[in-house]
Amino acid sequence: MNLLPFDSLPAFKPRRFLPARIDLGEWAQLAPLFDQLEARASQCTSVAELERWLLDWSELNAALDEEGARRYIAMTCHTENADAEKAYLDFVEHIEPQIKPRQFQLESVFIAHPLRAQLPQPRYEVFERDTQNHVELFRPENVPLETEEAKTGQQYQKLSGSLTVPFRGEEKTLIQMGKYLEDPDRALRQEAWELVARRRLQERDKFEEQFDQLRSLRGRIAQNAGFANYRDFAFRRLGRFDYTPEDCAKFHDAVESEIMPVVRELHGERRRQLGLEQLRPWDMAVDPLNRAPLRPFERVDEMVARSQRIFDRLDGELADGFRRMNELRLLDLDNRKGKAPGGYQSTLAEARLPFIFMNAVGQQRDVETILHEAGHAFHALAAREEDLLPYRNSPPIEFCEVASMSMELLGNEFIEEFYADADARRARRVHLEGIVGVLAWIATVDAFQHWLYTHPGHTRAERAAAWVALMDRFGGDLDWSGYEEARAHLWHRQLHIFLHPFYYIEYGIAQLGALQVWANSKRDKARALGEYKQSLALGGSRPLPELFSAAGCRFAFDGDTMKPLMQLVREELKSLKD
């Protein structure tokens, strides 16, 4: 039974190195391919032969990458399906641990190859830098630890995806409960919020235990690689050559000085509009004028059709890409029980096609999410002709998120496809307020991760206290009285802390880039869109500052960068006032 939402997809280019028929989940069939590549490396006597060798290696990696992606997609689409879970875990436990040392060996062979110095530059500059980094960090003893880390992360996803609550006679997922927080009935909002908060707290010990296991594994991984703490290891593993932990601390400080005044202004305005003495956690999603929630669509097919019309108006090439994804069933967008939470875009590396996963329930946030994930998809499609897999599939995350967050802002210019004029203005305001709020949340999550991994011996109580201190710093003017436990464990909902450690500051860096793309479009729409598309086509072939520059942006995330962008946001919010 095919558990994937899409049918079989052909490779973008015919295979040259891999057999047409091969079981990519059977190591006995894969090992000879690594043997051949290793043996062939020493036979490369010209730069052209070495480049052909690199492309054959990319072909193998693309097939393996897609196999892993397919199993991950099936598992997240069907978390309660035992076959999907088994297939994913089989790959994680039995294939990936075999691949890692063989990849290390090929990387080592490449780094030591006498012809490497003759490869054309700057074509291979980023690839060589990243490969050198992988070789320096690889430790065979970390392979089983990384396997255990992936398995523990999968259990977090399984637990999160399984949580439901009984509400008004129906069983609801926690994601489905989100729409009740937009209801003008404050008592209803409180009831819904409390149900979800209590349900998460029921699993508090399980979430804490899962994180303790992950923290321990990551500490051992870092120690094996010779690092004093996991944070420093993670920065190297993530290839952060263009900024440091100290730069992240500057980002936190800049958010405090430039973003938090706007957050408090918005909270104060919301409190006055709602006629409240204090804002409570269940008062943040409702319309402050107590209008009915924005309902951009009833059915997912409506969301797809209206999104398509936005892209049609924005750019023909982008529109064709989204249309093709829909035709190929590369969209799984509805929320249902047994589906993992969240949203993501995953590239099928051999077909060179993007897949979008999300949990739409008919909220404004769903519109923002489909635009966001479509931006990632457009990035994948723009780099489709690139044959070197790392450049095609692994651009720096900091720039991947520029692709997606810019599309939220650019697409919002045509949000009337979902709303009448008044609601379109309201939706734009909601989106901009969300950007301000998310920058504060990003600073909270990132600063928390820095604390977590530079205090390796901390207790659960100390961890909760550190989180609460950051909520005090970046949480704005909310009254959590009586719900202190829920506030102290709010981080349990942030899957990045469990699954992708230190993958979160990227959103903040990228949001500043996306705001710059948007600011450029205010001055010259055609030029800004052209630079945006040109930068996406570069994939991961250039360092971060050059990718930002190609998009017409400055690669900096300090107060000097934030101040004019927040001024633009303030002006836009003012123009959108009712």
Burial of 348: CB neighbours in 10 Å, binned 0-12, 13-18, 19+: buried
In total, the chain counts a number of residues equal to 578
Q: Flag whether 54 is in a domain.
A: yes
Half-sphere exposure of 178 (CA within 13 A, CB side): 17
Q: Structural domain of residue 64, as residue ranges?
A: 27-138
Q: Residue 2: left (phi > 0), alpha (psi -120 to 50), or beta?
A: beta
Q: Report CA torsion sign: 53, 59, 65, 68.
A: negative
What's the pLDDT score for residue 292?
Answer: 86
Per-residue pLDDT of the chain (578 residues; tens, 9 = 90+): 689 999 899 999 999 999 999 999 999 999 999 999 999 999 999 999 999 999 999 999 999 999 999 999 999 999 999 999 999 999 999 999 999 999 999 999 999 999 999 999 999 999 999 999 999 999 999 999 999 999 999 999 999 989 999 999 999 999 889 989 989 999 999 999 999 999 999 999 999 999 999 999 999 999 999 999 999 999 999 999 999 999 999 999 999 999 999 999 999 999 999 999 999 999 999 999 989 889 999 999 999 999 999 999 999 999 999 999 999 999 999 999 899 888 999 999 999 999 999 999 998 999 999 999 999 999 999 999 999 999 999 899 999 999 999 999 999 999 999 999 999 999 999 999 999 999 999 999 999 999 999 998 999 999 999 999 999 999 999 999 999 999 999 999 999 999 999 999 999 999 999 999 999 999 999 999 999 999 999 999 999 999 999 999 999 999 999 999 999 999 999 999 86
- The reply to whether 95 falls in a domain is yes
Distance, in Å, from the CA atom of 214 to the CA atom of 502, rounded to the nearest integer, reads: 13
SS3 content of the chain, % helix, strand, coil (to 5): 70, 5, 25
Spatial distance between the Cα atoms of 396 and 130, rounded to a whole number of angstroms: 11
At 456, phi and psi to the nearest 5? -65, -25
Q: Tokens for 479?
A: 């009254």
Looking at the domain assignment, is residue 107 inside a domain?
yes
Please report the pLDDT score of residue 1 as a whole number. 60
CA 323-327-329 angle, to 5 degrees, is 115
For residue 102, being part of any structural domain is answered with yes
* Residue 66 included in any domain: yes
Residues 419 and 378: beta-carbon distance below 8 Å = no
Cα–Cα distance between 517 and 501 in angstroms, integer? 28
Q: According to the model, what pLDDT value does residue 512 have?
A: 97
In whole angstroms, give the CA distance from residue 125 to residue 337.
46
What sign does the dihedral 447-449-451-453 (CA atoms) show?
negative
Task: Report the alpha-carbon angle 253-532-349, nearest 5.
Answer: 95
- Residue whose C-alpha is closest to residue 392's, from 207, 562, 538, 237: 538
**Is the distance from CB of 168 to CB of 195 less than 8 angstroms?**
no
Return the sign of the alpha-carbon dihedral for residues 555, 557, 559, 562. Answer: positive
Q: To which H or E segment does residue 173 belong? A: strand 170-173
d(CA 364, CA 370): 10
**Rounded distance between C-alpha atoms, residue 406 and residue 469, angstroms:** 32
Report the SS3 class of residue 361.
coil
Residue entry with tokens 């095609």: 392
Which amino acid type is present at position 531?
E
Q: Please indicate, yes or no, if residue 146 is contained in any of the structural domains.
A: no
Instruction: Please count the structural domains in the chain.
Output: 1
440/423 Cα distance (integer angstroms): 26
Residue 356 bridge partners (DSSP): 331, 345
Q: Is residue 541 part of a domain?
A: no
Q: Rounded CA gap, 531 and 548, in Å?
A: 10
**Looking at residue 259, what DSSP letter applies?**
I
Sign of CA dihedral 361, 364, 366, 370: positive
**Per the structure block, which two tokens stand in for 493?**
């909902």
Residue 425 belongs to some domain of the structure: no
**Max Cα distance, the chain (Å):** 77
DSSP code, position 542? S
Residue 578 confidence (pLDDT) = 63
Q: What is the pTM of this model?
A: 0.92
